[in-house]
A and B are shown apart, each in its own frame.
Chain A
């Protein structure tokens, strides 16, 4: 069968699996919503402060929610041997893995973007900033999945890889956090954000092109 067929077969398979194991979708989303709703309670009745730190709160929560969901990317496939079959496919493994990453983003990243406007209003974020927030999430969360995949692929063979995974992946998430958070803050102050958005687009394209290869190689290493 052709490579596109294989790509979409993997994508479809992972989406069906996610629908049948709903906790995988609900978990990161619930975490995201809970963390953001807890902030106003912790800070107290200071809407000015809340409004000022809203971009940071939303982005840090999104980052942690993405981290939380990473382990499910390859875990079950590793445990039941499906990953072996994927690696033995004559198709390029990196493309098949990209199918898995896209499915993972659709299941864990996209719901965050859909719920984010509500939470932004909740934190009192100004109108122009909300649009930019959505744009940065749309550009940034796929990067989180792509970069995270490299980390998970390296640690999936370890019994307790969670700690190492955070240490490996979080530093690589920092550029996305800085540029996205900054863009939202600038937009809130009515300043242009083209530069930050362009950099986020560049990071996304770079991750899209470069991340699947090390992920495939790392998975092969984890297999031995």
Chain B
């Protein structure tokens, strides 16, 4: 893997939706250990930008590079993980079955399944169907999915939604640890981000 700086680069991005320019000429670069926080009011294009970064949406102008290569590369997909508004969790499957599928789709990460579940305080819920979990617990399960797979870039859309105070703190700790071990995070949030000792870039979309 090349270590050309910066790792994630967006050049002159613009996004037009229904004849409305959400943002244009947006340029940023994110390096190892950095967090990018997207701010802005509802409808300002935060989620659209994240979906462009995921490759789900083509930018109307500009391009996104990962380690100097296009993000359509399979290397990028091996390096990134996305948690969107939708959890991507099957509610008819158990917690463990969901994580096993996530593991099969990605690459094995640092945490064994049991440790990841303990970390997000879902230990003992292994064989519980996800439909029996609360909204916050489902979010925690999404976090566990980030832990069991190996990814350098986390793209998180409103990760704090429906989490309790403890859950928010846990998410922040996980992000701090992730950046400390050479990871990158891009997120949108309406909460105040409390990450000590982490280089946080902010982009305000209006």
Contacts and interface: CB of A to CB of B under 8 A. Distances in A.
Say whether A and B bind each other.
yes
Interface of A: 1, 5-6, 9-10, 13, 16-17, 20-21, 76, 79-82, 84-92, 96, 220, 223-224
Which of B54, B86, B103 counts the most chain A CB atoms within 10 A?
A: B86
Interface in B69-95: 74-75, 77-78, 80-82, 84-93
Contacts of B88: 80-82, 84-85
Nearest to B100: A9
B106 A21 contact: no
A6 B51 contact: no
Given A81-B84, A82-B88, A91 B105 contact: yes
B144 interface: no
B107 interface: yes
B126 interface: no
Contact of A224 (B58, B87, B91): B58
Nearest 6 interchain pairs by C-beta: A81-B86, A9-B104, A90-B78, A81-B88, A89-B105, A85-B88
Nearest to A85: B88
Contacts, number: 83
A92 B74 CA distance: 8
A80 to B, nearest CB: 6
Given A17-B92, A88-B82, A80 B87 contact: yes
Contacts of B54: 84, 88
A122 B89 CA distance: 44
Contacts of A86: 105
A71 B157 CA distance: 28
B187 interface: no
A88 B77 contact: yes
A219 B62 CA distance: 23
A13 B97 contact: yes
12 contacts: A1-B104, A9-B104, A10-B101, A10-B104, A80-B86, A84-B82, A84-B88, A88-B80, A89-B105, A90-B106, A92-B74, A96-B105
B105 A87 contact: no
Contacts of B84: 81, 84
A224 B15 CA distance: 12
A89 B79 CA distance: 10
